[in-house]
Amino acid sequence: MSSSPQDRVAIIAGLRTPFQRIASGYSKVTARALSSHLVNELVERSELDRSTLELLVFGQVVMAPDAPNLAREVVMGANLPEQVDAYSISRACATSYQTTVDVYHNIISGNVDVGIAGGCDVMSQPPISFNKKMTEAMVRASYAKSMGAKLKAFKGVGIGDLMPRQPAIKDPSGEYTMGEAAEKMAKENGILRADQ
């Protein structure tokens, strides 16, 4: 950790996966597996000495419940040294940008010399949610001791309650999904599709 405020910070490599339609090419791949593969490939292609890596910051807009700290899972899945500090963030549209800023700040402040920033969302495997009645019934059933008690937990749940909510990256306090908000901002600011 020899960085000083006078040192320059450089991005030496970048890599991304291609976009896929929801429920298509990545439908059987978790964010954890996809991210681990990508980071491993980035390290291989850039010929980065794994022992020099000190920080990995990874983000997800929709955090996967099975991997609440995706960054730590990526460190393990990409065969990076276990002492690599790793944390995850979520900041809507700015998530991956924020991971880059976090790594930059850690380097420029002298905390680390080498870090990886990234992000991943696999909307083919989003967390599935139900309405309140169904959610409460599932929670009660998961804690019930007997099969009878598990079944009783669903008393009062109707057929309409069985339908999961359509996954959407939408801020509950706003009226737009992330994509809709991006389109709206692009139009308001005169940003053409080719410039995006």
In a domain, 15, yes or no: no
Per DSSP, 167 falls in state P
Q: What distance in Å separates the CA atoms of residue 196 and residue 187, rounded to the nearest whole number?
A: 12
Whether residue 183 has pLDDT greater than 90:
no
What's the confidence (pLDDT) of residue 141?
96
Global pTM reads 0.79
Angle of helix 31-46 relative to helix 70-77, nearest 10 degrees, comes to: 50
Whether residue 68 has pLDDT greater than 60:
yes
Q: What percent of the chain has pLDDT over 70?
A: 95
Taking the chain, what is the end-to-end CA distance rounded to the nearest angstrom?
Answer: 36
Position 73, amino acid: E
Whether residue 154 has pLDDT greater than 90:
yes
What's the confidence (pLDDT) of residue 168?
67
Q: Measure Cα distances from 146 to 142, 151, 153, 180 in Å.
A: 10, 9, 11, 46
71 and 142 in a common domain: no
Whether residue 76 has pLDDT greater than 90:
yes
What's the confidence (pLDDT) of residue 65?
81
Name the pLDDT band for 56 (thresholds 50, 70, 90): very high
What number is the average pLDDT over the span 178-188? Answer: 84
Q: Measure Cα distances from 26 to 130, 150, 166 in Å.
A: 23, 34, 18
139 and 75 in a common domain: no
95 and 59 in a common domain: yes
What number is the average pLDDT over the span 139-153? Answer: 96
Name the pLDDT band for 161 (thresholds 50, 70, 90): very high
Residue with the larger pLDDT of the pair 167 and 22? 22
Q: Measure Cα distances from 187 to 6, 163, 169, 184 in Å.
A: 40, 35, 20, 5
Whether residue 4 has pLDDT greater than 60:
no
Tens digits of per-residue pLDDT, 102-126?
A: 999 999 999 999 999 999 988 888 8
In a domain, 126, yes or no: no
Tens digits of per-residue pLDDT, 20-55?
A: 888 898 889 999 999 999 999 999 999 999 999 999
Structural domain count of the chain: 2
Q: What distance in Å separates the CA atoms of residue 141 and residue 178, rounded to the nearest whole number?
A: 34
Task: Domain of residue 113: give its range.
Answer: 31-119
In a domain, 17, yes or no: no
Q: Any idea what the CATH number is for the domain that residue 105 is in? A: 3.40.47.10
Q: Measure Cα distances from 144 to 119, 129, 148, 171 in Å.
A: 37, 20, 9, 33
What's the confidence (pLDDT) of residue 5?
55
Q: What distance in Å separates the CA atoms of residue 22 and residue 183, rounded to the nearest whole number?
A: 19
Whether the CB-CB separation of 53 and 84 falls below 8 Å is answered with yes
What's the confidence (pLDDT) of residue 2?
54
